[in-house]
Structure 1
Amino acid sequence: MWVLEKLRSGLRAAPVAVLFVASVGLSYWGYLQLPPRAVNYLLSHDYVTQAELWKRRVLAHFDDVARPFTEAQLSLDEINYLKRVPDASDIYRIKLFDLDGTIIWSSRNREIGSVNDKAYFKEVVAKGHTYVQREEKDAKEIDGLAIHSLFTNMDEKHIVYEVYVPVLERGTVVGAIEFYTNATTLHQLTLRRMQIAFAAVAGIITLLLTITAWISSRASQYQVKMAKRQTAEEREFVEKQMQLAREVQLLGDLNEWLQSSQSLGELFDMVARFMSHLLPDAEGSIYVYSNSRDVLDGCAAWNGGEYKPHIHPEDCWGLRRGRTYEFGRHEVNFCCDHAEPHDDRPYYCFPILAHGETVGLMNLRRRKTSSNKDFYKCKKLAQMCAEQISMAIANVRMRDQLQEQSTRDPLTGLFNRRYMLDRLRRLLNAAKAKGEKVYMIYLDVDHFKKFNDNHGHDAGDNVLSEVASCLQDACDGEDVACRMGGEEFMLIWPGSDLKTVEARANKLREKVEAMRVLYQEKHLPTVTISAGVACFPDNERDIQALLRQADEALYAAKDGGRNQVRIYGETQAKLPATKPKPVSPSSSMAAE
């Protein structure tokens, strides 16, 4: 009997053992097979998205999208921008291909002229489809590895994602851009996390199945009880996973939107809207360092949070200590000055760092309707948000600086000729639609060459800067002041009439004549200007023709004795509104 009882007990336990072994085997197979595939899929999708965004940024800096690929010619500005891409991103190499697969430019110079004759280029990329492949490369093949990675083991293989993005011009493929990204650290970190998560899930499921099978062999009542418990645990787990998936989705959307923002104002509007969904248990605000870096300016708030117009860096313990500050979680706490008035609710201060430099501050405080437990849970997610916000701020500022450098004259601070032509084209289109007029005033400093010869180029630069200041003061609203080159300037005054424009031009001329330029503790001779005026659409509708007519009016003013304003089309010389006072040859630039 004892032997039969043991046999029956063993037979009853056999299904449980088989189920356990099968679960362990299936979990182990899933642990080995599923996480690597999932990580590869996620990273491939992410790097394709980043490559598309970088392609747009690169093409936005090309004067002509098709020319670099069809003619294999890039300007110096375009090449300099391409060289800066690896410094501003995780991309370590970038290549430009023509339609035949020939490399027309590469951040690794020796590859220029090589041909990609692989089948995927002709069959996928050349037909307008994005192509991504994952490669394992030696450390020596990765450009700038020491810059892009803190840990550079030269003996191990590195995981690299190569993304080919086709370039289309009016629906036709003209070439492609290839981006190389070293994903070793991110791949290992993501894979490790997914393996841990999968192992935990598999272990829980295996344990639950084993316990359920064991309990089912004992009593149906206990089986029902355990089934209810299992259902509750699974529901909680699913809710956590759904919450995690929601947060990941929102973080991805936040990053994508921030990368597409064109200004800091637009960026902070996006941040405020997303943060109210990402961190519902916290009211928050963001401060950013001003250009002078002596104060931080309040920029955004959400969930009922408030921010002060300006705070000083020493007002925040997080900024003073250079790391996240938590108020309310320690036995002894010190309140930041910027958090006053304070009601003892816990809060966080997250310094916002970009490229090793503190660019701002994110402050989070528990909402009155939330618990401390829920508020403390948001710390990790908030830190991830701060990291994304910091990179977006750095990108927008870098883009603004590049835009400013490309459109401003470095000496005078006025807009340059390139910007003037683009702005004039838009103003003329708007004026054509509204039936308004646009006036162009072409100005030239009289006898400037002689002035440079007599007083030196430094003095001449001072004069140009002072004249530019007068021109800038004469502009308001949509008016534009530009330096065309040398001593020539251009004013664009839209939406006015000839009488007003002529009066304003003469007033400007008188202001320039009346100004006194101090150089090396001496007053320089009197400065005068001549100006020619042309009008759209009274004279011409073509930009180049308008420029020629304004230039002709300017030369008429010079031929008429200088220091005057001439209107194109008027045969009678326009005398100065105020007759210039006679000056001695030693003090007058005109006499020189």
Structure 2
Amino acid sequence: MNNSYWQNGSHRLKWTLIIVLLIAVTAFAGWGIYKLPAPLVDRMLQTDILKQAELWKRRVVLHLENPESTLRTGEIDEHDAEFLASMPEASDVYRFKLFDTAGRVIWSTRPEEVGSMENRAFFRSDVARGLVHYIQEVVPLSEIDGLDLHTDNVQNAIQHNVAEVFMPVTKNGRFLGAVEFYTDISDLRATFITRLRISLAILSGIAVLALCIVSFVTYRTNRFQVRALHKQSAKERDLMAEQIRLAREVRLLGELNEWLQSSRSLDELFDMVSRFMTHILPEAEGSVYVYSNSRDVLDGCASWNAGTHKAHIHPEGCWGLRRGRTYEYGASEIDFVCEHAEPHDGRPYFCFPILAHGETVGLLHLRAHEHKGEAFHASKKLAQLCAEQISMAIANVQMRDQLHDQSVRDPLTGLFNRRHMTETLRKSITRSQQTGARLSLVAVDVDHFKKFNDTHGHDAGDMVLRAVGSALEQGCDRDEVACRIGGEEFMLILPDNAPEDAVTRAEQIRQAVEAVSVRYGEKSLPRIAISVGVSHYPAHGTMPQDLMRAADDALYTAKDKGRNQVQVAGTEASAAREAKAAPKQVPKAVPPAPAA
């Protein structure tokens, strides 16, 4: 009987504790329903009003004729004043002001405020530094302009909640002034608070009811069921975490693909790869290698997550490239280290051959961070997807570069064509105008080229043009450009060359062409000679067509003086060009003298 008494007492005590707990939870929920909505609603309203204030500010700035001048001088024309005065009627703003940089009011919906100063500290510490400042305060009815436009119950309204927003106006990081907006949020705030309280009341009731049920179930459930519940919860959390991880990986892969497909060059592409791989595979350091143009070595292009890459590696030094498939070091009992992974400290790594259109174009190398081996092996599939994205992007950039190269290259000689020459010359002139750098233009024409075609055939003529083009290209270095502009005519752009150096270079190229020996079939073609004309910027012109015309004039002078020589543009060259272009005058017959 005593045992039954104590059991009943323990039972009553437990239920008493549960009831007290429910009363405490209910009281706390009631306190939360009364206290919590106001600050939550104020925070939501602040976010919403700041977005609206940005739109109001844009509307004001866009409608001002010259906002920068207006804020600086404080002068507002009639059109701007009319628009500003109509602003409160077309928005939720009942009052606003314009400030200059010093905090002086240059316009206000209350004319008596014009000229007054904003002396509160936040204007200089926040607004003048380009920061938005938000104030919410309670004001009497008399402080609100046009209240009948903002509330339906003016008679019963005694105090109103007003939002005051200071929006800085900046241009290129420079503070020009500020706009201050006032908007009445009383009705909206009261509505939201009421709705939130109702929602919280419902949720609190549900929560209390759920707490009662959970308490009863927990009280009646044995330890085995509790442990099973905990295990199930852990499984669900793990599943949710896995789903979140997969969703993140899919999102990052999509973003990676989008950014890589929009890259304009391989350098930009590899920079994107470095930044994305840092986030996609944080447990691995990595590097990317791409085959050089000669395809005898791979060039190191990028690395990330404290990884490093070598300047060049040989394809035979990577087991992934040698075997033509992914190589995973650390997955087998016996592994061999790739040469490019030396010095090796035993950490596992991946080597993914980067394939494009069935051809290997590079290598993606990933190595696990310290103590991250398990996570690293689990990321193999994701890493493989990244390698596929990178391979497609590299193929697209290389194909785009190849197509662009074909569009600006002469198919016979491999030199740049006239289109690229004109564009490059224009850019070089602009650079010289900005920096004062030297610039020269060299016009080249093969002497007696028609004889090569007429005597030996067009194939021999093409061989001559290719030989001249090769000599011109070898004579260029740094940013110098050799172009074939048509037929047997060529041009060279020589930036950063003094006039005398450009003439010397032209003479060296002439001698180099003269020394070229071209064999056609079983015989050698006659000696090749060129005539060369040189013009300098800005002595002979400041426009592309002026420099080209001056170089052509000098070229014609060289032709007229016997060919196979270099001439510099000048008055003599221009006169020769004009004389060549002028029509020949036929002398008139002199009538015989009359007979005596």
Question: TM-score, normalization: structure 1?
Answer: 0.55
Gaps of 5+ in 1: 1-208, 575-592
- 1:415 aligned residue: 416
For the structure 1 residues 215 and 292, does the alpha-carbon distance in structure 2 shift closer, same or farther, using more than 3 Å as the test?
A: farther
- 1:192 aligned residue: none
Asked if the contact 1:415–1:483 (Cα under 8 Å) also holds between the matched residues in 2, the reply is: yes
**What is the CA-CA distance between 1:429 and the residue it aligns to?**
1.5
- 1:553 aligned residue: 554
For the structure 1 residues 316 and 422, does the alpha-carbon distance in structure 2 shift closer, same or farther, using more than 3 Å as the test?
A: same
- 1:562 aligned residue: 563
Distance in 1 (alpha carbons) for counterparts of 2:253 and 2:268: 17
Asked if the contact 1:287–1:362 (Cα under 8 Å) also holds between the matched residues in 2, the reply is: yes
- 2:284 aligned residue: 282
Please list the CA deviations of residues 532-560 of structure 1 after superposition, one character each: whole Å capped at 9, or x if unmatched: 22333333333234323322222222122
Please list the CA deviations of residues 302-326 of structure 1 after superposition, one character each: whole Å capped at 9, or x if unmatched: 3333444444444444334433233
For the structure 1 residues 480 and 312, does the alpha-carbon distance in structure 2 shift closer, same or farther, using more than 3 Å as the test?
A: closer
Question: TM-score, normalization: structure 2?
Answer: 0.55
Asked if the contact 2:299–2:312 (Cα under 8 Å) also holds between the matched residues in 1, the reply is: yes
- 1:330 aligned residue: 332
- 1:474 aligned residue: 475
Asked if the contact 2:446–2:530 (Cα under 8 Å) also holds between the matched residues in 1, the reply is: yes
**What is the CA-CA distance between 1:405 and the residue it aligns to?**
0.8
Asked if the contact 2:556–2:573 (Cα under 8 Å) also holds between the matched residues in 1, the reply is: no
Distance in 2 (alpha carbons) for counterparts of 1:250 and 1:567: 60
Please list the CA deviations of residues 208-259 of structure 1 after superposition, one character each: whole Å capped at 9, or x if unmatched: x9xx989928726768777766665555444444433432332223222212
**What is the CA-CA distance between 1:390 and the residue it aligns to?**
0.6
Distance in 2 (alpha carbons) for counterparts of 1:325 and 1:233: 33
Distance in 1 (alpha carbons) for counterparts of 2:573 and 2:323: 73
**Residue 397 in structure 1 maps to residue 395 in structure 2:** no
- 1:303 aligned residue: 305
Q: Rg: which structure is higher?
A: 2
Please list the CA deviations of residues 380-417 of structure 1 after superposition, one character each: whole Å capped at 9, or x if unmatched: 11011011001011111111111111111122221110
For the structure 1 residues 506 and 290, does the alpha-carbon distance in structure 2 shift closer, same or farther, using more than 3 Å as the test?
A: closer
Q: State the percentage of identical aligned residues.
A: 59
- 1:440 aligned residue: 441
- 1:26 aligned residue: none
- 1:348 aligned residue: 350
- 2:258 aligned residue: 256
**What is the CA-CA distance between 1:506 and the residue it aligns to?**
2.3
**What is the CA-CA distance between 1:420 and the residue it aligns to?**
0.4
SS at match of 2:572: coil
**Residue 429 in structure 1 maps to residue 442 in structure 2:** no
Matched positions, count: 363
Equivalent AA in structure 2 for residue 273 of structure 1: R
**What is the CA-CA distance between 1:362 and the residue it aligns to?**
2.0
Gaps of 5+ in 2: 1-209, 576-596
For the structure 1 residues 297 and 511, does the alpha-carbon distance in structure 2 shift closer, same or farther, using more than 3 Å as the test?
A: closer
For the structure 1 residues 500 and 310, does the alpha-carbon distance in structure 2 shift closer, same or farther, using more than 3 Å as the test?
A: closer
- 1:533 aligned residue: 534
For the structure 1 residues 327 and 215, does the alpha-carbon distance in structure 2 shift closer, same or farther, using more than 3 Å as the test?
A: farther
Asked if the contact 2:530–2:564 (Cα under 8 Å) also holds between the matched residues in 1, the reply is: yes
For the structure 1 residues 230 and 426, does the alpha-carbon distance in structure 2 shift closer, same or farther, using more than 3 Å as the test?
A: same
SS at match of 1:344: coil
- 2:594 aligned residue: none
For the structure 1 residues 476 and 308, does the alpha-carbon distance in structure 2 shift closer, same or farther, using more than 3 Å as the test?
A: closer
- 1:502 aligned residue: 503
- 2:79 aligned residue: none
SS at match of 2:261: helix
Equivalent AA in structure 2 for residue 254 of structure 1: L
Could you tell me which of 349, 356, 359 is aligned with 1:357?
A: 359
Distance in 1 (alpha carbons) for counterparts of 2:313 and 2:550: 53
For residues 65-214 of structure 1, what are the structure 2 equivalents within 5 Å? none
For the structure 1 residues 421 and 271, does the alpha-carbon distance in structure 2 shift closer, same or farther, using more than 3 Å as the test?
A: same
Equivalent AA in structure 1 for residue 326 of structure 2: T
Asked if the contact 1:557–1:573 (Cα under 8 Å) also holds between the matched residues in 2, the reply is: no
Distance in 2 (alpha carbons) for counterparts of 1:334 and 1:433: 57
**What is the CA-CA distance between 1:378 and the residue it aligns to?**
0.8
For the structure 1 residues 215 and 522, does the alpha-carbon distance in structure 2 shift closer, same or farther, using more than 3 Å as the test?
A: farther
Distance in 2 (alpha carbons) for counterparts of 1:316 and 1:431: 47
For the structure 1 residues 313 and 430, does the alpha-carbon distance in structure 2 shift closer, same or farther, using more than 3 Å as the test?
A: closer
Distance in 2 (alpha carbons) for counterparts of 1:397 and 1:516: 36
For the structure 1 residues 320 and 477, does the alpha-carbon distance in structure 2 shift closer, same or farther, using more than 3 Å as the test?
A: closer
Distance in 2 (alpha carbons) for counterparts of 1:573 and 1:548: 9
